[in-house]
Structure 1
Amino acid sequence: MASSHGTPPVFNNKVVAWIDHRLPIFSYIEKEYHTFPTPRNFNYFWNFGAIATVMLVLMIATGIVLATNYTPHVLMAFDSVERIDRDVPQGWLIRDLHMNGASFFFIAVYIHIFRGMYYGSYKAPRELLWILGVVIFLLMMATAFMGYVLPWGQMSFWGATVITNLFSAIPIVGESIVTWLWGGFAVDNPTLNRFFALHYLLPFIIVGVVALHVVALHVHGSNNPTGIDPKGPQDTVPFHPYYTMKDGFGVMVFLIVYAGFVFFAPDYLGHPDNYIPADPLVTPAHIVPEWYFLPFYAILRAIPDKLGGVLAMFGAIAVLFILPWLDTSRVRSCTFRPIYKWFMMFLVVDVIVLGICGSKPPEGFWVPLSQLATLYYFAHFLVVLPILGKIERPLPLPPSIADSVLKKKAV
């Protein structure tokens, strides 16, 4: 499904036609977001790409407003955040939108990743599309971590201290990397300044990678629940109005849930210790990152060796880059893979268990459980995927997307 299709559009508006003749931006929009042929069998899991885009725009807009009122100095950062909440007109709303927006952005992206894995959207010819998505995920994690440091509460300070100290496990250059990250010999004002600068910059880099992600998507078109490519016009519908309306509905439902947290439980997804000013002399009883980092934090702590834990944590993300080559099945979608479908569900449960382990103190029952969950996480990608793809017998694929849709309607 190539993006070059149809005849050039004709615009009745003379101003639009004049601009488009010199800068064909309207032709591009018409071709890629109006008449673009899209598989006709998308389900609501396909809404989460649009939802993530809306959340990214909202995070940038609220972040710019917050940046105009924030003071990146260790003596004033905490008070400037309190001033935003209490004294800046509608500042509480902007901050709660931004603070909860990070969590809901990750919710949308995690569901988007799960959908891509379940329906095999990483398989050829969409490998680069998947890799760009993982790059976006990494940039999101870096941006969120730096943003969590900015309020300069207890969890901000100690979270920054613990996470940046992990780089000291790298042989030879580790200590130098930590000193460079800190801008000195401890987490202090230079650290806060550079984290603020990077937190402001990275979202715009994310926008650039998202643009590449969309371009790569429109080269071969979207995957779909059957995992088979469209074989003709009967398998597709124009993107507008069918999926603009469906995406719009999904976005509205998602924003209603998001607004529920913003207005009725704005602090539910945060940590109460972060409403205490940072104190280098008082260590919190239990240092935990934000919930969306907890599975990786559990993997880090599951390995008793510091360097091994760091390698395992980064390896948990790195393995996603090579996922297209680990899956040896000739079938994309789990819909037609009766055995692997259950392994995918078990992976979701495993990641949730890792998140729970990451939120608990590293003692007692939680240590062996996190080690067992970490073992399965890597076994899923490095053992289950390559072996099961060769021995599993997939169900028969439908002859076309249209045939599968019409068969469902008949049932």
Structure 2
Amino acid sequence: MAQAQATKFKNPVVNWIDSRLPIFTMLDHEYNHYPMPRNVNYLWAFGAIAGIMLVIMIATGLFLAMQYSSHTSLAFDSVERIMRDVNYGWLLRYIHANGASMFFIAVYIHMFRGLYYGSYKAPREILWILGVIIFLVMMGTAFMGYVLPWGQMSFWGATVITNLFSAFPIVGDPIVTLLWGGFSVDNPTLNRFFALHFLLPFVLLGLVILHTAALHVSGSNNPLGIEAKGPQDTVPFNPYVTIKDGFAVVIFLIVYAAFVFFMPNYMGHPDNYIPANPLVTPAHIVPEWYFLPFYAMLRAIPDKLGGVLAMFGSIALLAFLPWLDTSKVRSCKFRPIYRQFFWILAIDALVLGYAGSQPAEGAWLVIARIGTAYYFFHFLILLPLLGKLERPLPLPSSISEPVLKGGGRVAAGAHAKPMEKA
């Protein structure tokens, strides 16, 4: 039997465990001495913020599940009981409900940061694809969670979204029947959604662990979009990045707490405080705000199957981004033309979100169609063409060069290269 490897920890218990299962050595390497680019800014903290939000959602969800009844005749009243009779039940529910919105805010900022700084390019393709899968699982989990209070928007949202699968030829109707567990949205549907809403966060946790492992293999990107070339370009993860991320987390949690304690229903829909009634259709069925851009795409196309393909395709398209973007330069800092189109894309996403919250008629329907057309134009046509036609600015030779030359500005001097491989 091989002799246990000697370890460096002073605590004898930790040392004894680590000599047999080197988990503390791994954590020390990955979260203490792990080299990070020295120029990362606060936008890089939103990955850690999203991870903390996931832990908060799982923890509060476990306690809420102990009090929730997944039956159509009891679900709405069980939520009201949590709010009124369970000790601190109102707090748990408001943390959980608003936590979903804050989770999506953190993830959307994290995604747009990746788009701006080219974090999807080689060697980080797997890292990016895992992020897209995480986003899809998040959306499924959030949709099923929205159904559980069994209010009017819960019931009719479930009816509308599950019916979308019927647009697919041959397999559509069996999928809808499987989701419903019968011939309409009813008690079997609620039971399925509750079970999946409880399960999927743990799947999400596993995907996040894979995402983090892929990050630690390829290393973090940075605002310049060039690779670190030595110790002069990096700092240890602890204490530099932990302090920076910790400060950002505190600020984010203060904003989160402001919603929980002062405006807990601001991001919800008032119709969801009315018990579900299959005989009364709401005047305007809308999903939660973080689904609205995709909901606008769904309604923008007159054909049902076309709308469904556009909605799902808009997310699946992101997985192919490393190959659609043909530019060798990562960061928008050095791509002045593409930088303008990036901000147009961000505005387009906001406009689509607002269009999705309005009735699908008149000017808002036209705006949703224009926004949908631009979204696909941006990724399928603009990105490949700009990568070949745009002439990027010169890149610095290292991460530390702009700092050593004074300030954060990149000087296009003698040491700058015209282009660097991504």
Q: TM-score, normalised by structure 1?
A: 0.97
CA distance in 2, matches of 1:22, 1:223: 34
Amino acid paired to 2:159: T
- SS of the residue aligned with 2:311? helix
Q: How much has 1:9 moved relative to structure 2?
A: 5.9
Percent identity, aligned pairs only, is 71
> Of the candidates 375, 398, 404, which is equivalent to residue 402 of structure 2?
404
Q: Residue 402 of structure 2 contacts residue 408 of structure 2 at CA under 8 Å; is this kept in 1?
A: no
Amino acid paired to 2:152: Q
Amino acid paired to 2:337: I
Relative distance call for 1:51 and 1:190 in structure 2 (3 A) is: same
The corresponding residue for 1:3 is none
Q: How much has 1:410 moved relative to structure 2?
A: 7.7
Unaligned runs of 5+ in 2: 410-422
> Of the candidates 200, 212, 225, which is equivalent to residue 210 of structure 2?
212
CA distance in 2, matches of 1:301, 1:410: 45
The corresponding residue for 1:168 is 166
1:363 is the counterpart of 2:380: no
> Of the candidates 190, 201, 204, which is equivalent to residue 203 of structure 1?
201
Unaligned runs of 5+ in 1: 1-6
User: How big is the alpha-carbon RMSD for the aligned residues of Structure 1 and Structure 2?
Assistant: 1.1
- SS of the residue aligned with 1:38? strand
Relative distance call for 1:364 and 1:374 in structure 2 (3 A) is: same
The corresponding residue for 2:416 is none
CA distance in 1, matches of 2:281, 2:222: 49
CA distance in 1, matches of 2:21, 2:243: 28
Q: Residue 6 of structure 2 contacts residue 19 of structure 2 at CA under 8 Å; is this kept in 1?
A: no
- SS of the residue aligned with 2:100? helix
The corresponding residue for 1:278 is 276
> Of the candidates 327, 349, 352, which is equivalent to residue 350 of structure 2?
352
CA distance in 2, matches of 1:300, 1:47: 32
CA distance in 1, matches of 2:6, 2:167: 57
The corresponding residue for 1:334 is 332
The corresponding residue for 2:122 is 124
CA distance in 2, matches of 1:312, 1:306: 10
> What is the count of residue pairs matched by the alignment?
405
Q: How much has 1:404 moved relative to structure 2?
A: 2.0
Please give the residue correspondences for 1:257-406 in structure 2 after superposition, counting only pairs within 5 Å: 257-406=255-404
The corresponding residue for 2:231 is 233
Q: How much has 1:168 moved relative to structure 2?
A: 0.3
The corresponding residue for 1:82 is 80
The corresponding residue for 2:245 is 247
CA distance in 2, matches of 1:340, 1:126: 20
CA distance in 2, matches of 1:284, 1:269: 18
Amino acid paired to 1:295: P
Amino acid paired to 2:24: F
Q: How much has 1:228 moved relative to structure 2?
A: 0.2
Q: TM-score, normalised by structure 2?
A: 0.95
Q: Residue 8 of structure 1 contacts residue 27 of structure 1 at CA under 8 Å; is this kept in 2?
A: no
CA distance in 2, matches of 1:56, 1:174: 32
The corresponding residue for 1:112 is 110
Q: Residue 298 of structure 2 contacts residue 311 of structure 2 at CA under 8 Å; is this kept in 1?
A: yes
CA distance in 1, matches of 2:122, 2:210: 17
CA distance in 2, matches of 1:45, 1:405: 19
1:190-223 alpha-carbon deviations (Å, 9 max, x no partner): 0000000000000000000000000000002100
